[in-house]
Amino acid sequence: MGEKYNPYGNLLSVLDNAAKVAGYSDEEYAFLRYPERELRVNFPVRMDDGKVKMFEGFRIQHSTVRGPAKGGIRYHHEVDADEVRALSAGMALKCAVANIPYGGGKGGIVINPREHSAGELERITRKFTEMIAPIIGERKDIPAPDVNTNSQMMNWMVDEYSKISGRTVYGIVTGKSLEMGGSLGRTEATGRGVSICALEMLKKMGKDVSKMRVAVQGFGNVGSFSAKFMYEAGAKVVAVSRSNTAIYCADGLDIPELLKCDGKLENYKKPGVQIIDNAKLLTCDCDVLIPSALDNQITKDNAPNIKAILIAEGANGPTSKDADEILEKKGVKIIPDILANAGGVVVSYLEWVQNLQSFYWSEDEVNSKMRVLMINAFNDVYNESTKRNVSLRLAAYITAVARIVNVSKLRGK
């Protein structure tokens, strides 16, 4: 180990490199190295036992150059300003890569949600909404769910913000329940986008999907749908993992059957299935690796042993900077998180458009619009990477920086 993990520092070093390779002067892109606006709030909430407890939260808007800020709200006891800052910048770049008319933002509350009842979580969410209300808005900054937040919390945010506004404002957040202005296709969107990018890249690499063996770390929302869509495209999904179990089957796992196990991978019985050490999933015999659990999973320690020829980053930041360099030297192609997992924010954008127009699309309409946006984003990044002979990660950052800097120039100072 010993590799110091510094998400905002990592992001800045790739950003600086992208701006340099794209030929921008410090002055042209310096604004992108800093968050535009940071709000830190402290607020009291009454607990079920009658006592009042203080909470700390953040909403950080990295950029609103290309449109309203967009990004999730995370409930975690380790949330801090630095982490939110890095995630917020990542959203600005992701929205620019996807070419959707948003800037980037992120928020969070320092809280262990497991220590709170549903009633307490509702009161905390409502109070937090009130505290950040001055800077959010359906045309200013649109939050969404992230780690430990869900559609119910987004529904409460809509309700609280609507009370403040004196009208129903469905477009204030995305990731809501369908009955509250949510979009069809949102649940599967991130995994669908990961598989669209992986399949497009395999085509570019001249690989036959039916001969590809796929390993997926993290069989949660992103991982399970990535596995499902890769399986449906004809690939053999040979390994999947959750935090407590990892399974491998050289003949391929039956993903629809596995999905019926309700997340309990150990309940999936099929001849040839072995339980493997969790860490081994990343280095198992496979062609495509989809890390979709946590950040900082592929490090300089395991990168030399990775056998995959293609990595599609379902999770945010799963590959450390050192590992990235090792893998690039080995010739492993990496579809970076800001492109690979953009399907979620793309369908969030489509949810918001439906809210603003008060007219809702069928699931097929949402999926086909999302597919067009993802394939365009993939091709833009791929073409940038071949034109400049740089990695897909650097190409994605160059694409994002160029789009944000160009709009900033057009807007003028």
CA dist 231 and 271 (Å) reads: 19
Q: If you search the block for the tokens 């993990």, which residue do you land on? A: 5
Could you count the other beta carbons within 10 Å of the beta carbon of residue 76? 17
Q: Which stretch binds ligand NAD (CB under 6 A): 205-213, 228-236, 287-295, 378-386?
A: 287-295
From the CB of 285, what's the least distance to ligand NAD, in Å?
A: 18
Of residues 129 and 241, the one with the C-beta less far from ligand NAD: 241
Of residues 24 and 397, the one with the C-beta less far from ligand NAD: 397
Could you count the other beta carbons within 10 Å of the beta carbon of residue 243? 11
Q: If you search the block for the tokens 């496979």, which residue do you land on? A: 286
From the CB of 290, what's the least distance to ligand NAD, in Å?
A: 10
* Contact between 147 and 75 (Cβ < 8 Å): yes
Q: Which stretch binds ligand NAD (CB under 6 A): 9-17, 28-36, 314-322, 328-336?
A: 314-322
**Binder of ligand NAD out of 174, 292, 320, 391 (CB under 6 A):** 292
Q: Nearest-CB residue to ligand NAD?
A: 220
Q: Which stretch binds ligand NAD (CB under 6 A): 53-61, 247-255, 286-294, 350-358?
A: 286-294
Which string of x and - marks every residue 224-243 that binds ligand NAD (by CB under 6 A)? -----------------xxx
**Binder of ligand NAD out of 168, 221, 406, 408 (CB under 6 A):** 221
Which string of x and - marks every residue 332-351 that binds ligand NAD (by CB under 6 A)? ---------x--x-------
Q: What is the dihedral of CA 115, 120, 125, 129, to 10 degrees?
A: -130
Give yes or no for residue 316 binding ligand NAD (CB under 6 A).
Answer: yes
Pairing of β 69-76 and β 104-110: parallel
From the CB of 180, what's the least distance to ligand NAD, in Å?
A: 18
Give yes or no for residue 408 binding ligand NAD (CB under 6 A).
Answer: no
Could you count the other beta carbons within 10 Å of the beta carbon of residue 15? 19
Q: Which of 20, 53, 94, 106 is catalytic?
A: 106
Of residues 155 and 190, the one with the C-beta less far from ligand NAD: 190
HEC-encoded secondary structure of 24-43: CCHHHHHHHHCCCEEEEEEE
Which string of x and - marks every residue 162-191 that binds ligand NAD (by CB under 6 A)? ----------------------------x-
Residues 6+ apart with CB under 8 A from 125: 153, 156, 157, 160
Residues 6+ apart with CB under 8 A from 165: none
Burial degree of 99 (CB within 10 A; 0-12, 13-18, 19+): middle
Q: Which stretch binds ligand NAD (CB under 6 A): 9-17, 121-129, 218-226, 247-255?
A: 218-226
From the CB of 293, what's the least distance to ligand NAD, in Å?
A: 3
Give yes or no for residue 222 binding ligand NAD (CB under 6 A).
Answer: yes
Give yes or no for residue 354 binding ligand NAD (CB under 6 A).
Answer: no
Q: In which order are the strands placed within the sheet that holds 141-145? A: 37-46, 52-63, 104-110, 69-76, 141-145
20 is catalytic: no
CA dist 223 and 13 (Å) reads: 28
Q: Which of residues 93-132 bind ligand NAD (CB under 6 A)?
A: none
Of residues 64 and 217, the one with the C-beta less far from ligand NAD: 217
CA distances, 293 to each of 202, 220, 223, 224 (Å)? 22, 7, 7, 11
End-to-end CA separation in angstroms for the chain? 45
Q: Show which residues are catalytic.
A: 106
Using CB under 6 A, list all residues that contact ligand NAD: 190, 217-223, 241-243, 278, 292-294, 314-316, 341, 344
